[in-house]
Structure 1
């Protein structure tokens, strides 16, 4: 369970770091750049802890996918970036993919607990 918490915080750190980058580019201040460097570093550290028990492909896909989803939503709300019907469709497909990966990870864990000889990819 702790590894999923690491992944959750890694995602939050990635979102914060990326939004700080945008804020720094708009405001021109160094605070956003410093926050970006710190948060992206923290994000990678937490991601590296998460992949000790979560499959790398699953962890990375969730980290990146959830990050993209929230970064896109925040950029529309906070930075007035445009969103089209095609982007909304892409986000919907992304959400479906994230759900499938999470279900797959739970299924893989159940399979390994039951003692099957299947190898999770």
Structure 2
């Protein structure tokens, strides 16, 4: 169970870091740049802890899938990024893939 908590923390760190990239203005603004660097360090550290018990392919698929969905939603809310029907459909399919992986795959360590 601890590994799943670590994975949630890794995803959160990565989403915060990625979402802060735009605010860093190509690393020309100090505070958002610090958030980016610290966020990615935290993301990779917690992902390394996850890999003790969850296979790398499964952990990365969940991390990437949920990260994509979260960053797209945050970009829509904070930066006004437009999400058309193909974008929403694609994001929904990614989310569906993560759900299928967790509910039905015997590869995921639960």
TM-score norm. by structure 2 comes to 0.91
Structure 1 distance, partners of 2:2, 2:104, is 19
2:50 corresponds to: 50
Within a 5 Å distance, the mapping from 1:68-79 to structure 2 comes to 68-79=68-79
1:30 corresponds to: 30
Q: CA deviation at 1:52?
A: 0.6
Structure 1 distance, partners of 2:60, 2:73, is 20
Following TM superposition, where does structure 1 have runs of at least 4 consecutive aligned residues deviating by more than 4 angstroms?
none
Mark the runs of 5 or more structure 1 residues left unpaired by the alignment.
111-121
Mark the runs of 5 or more structure 2 residues left unpaired by the alignment.
none
The superposition leaves residues 67-97 of structure 1 with CA deviations (integer Å, 9 ceiling, x where unpaired) of 0100000101110111110000001101110
Q: CA deviation at 1:104?
A: 3.8
1:67 corresponds to: 67
The superposition leaves residues 21-69 of structure 1 with CA deviations (integer Å, 9 ceiling, x where unpaired) of 121128x521111110011011000001001101111100111110010
Greater C-alpha radius of gyration: 1
Structure 2 distance, partners of 1:25, 1:104, is 42
Structure 1 distance, partners of 2:70, 2:22, is 14
Within a 5 Å distance, the mapping from 1:101-116 to structure 2 comes to 101-104=101-104, 107-108=106-107, 109=109
Number of aligned residue pairs:
109
2:89 corresponds to: 89
TM-score norm. by structure 1 comes to 0.83
Q: CA deviation at 1:20?
A: 1.1
1:2 corresponds to: 2
Structure 1 distance, partners of 2:87, 2:13, is 24
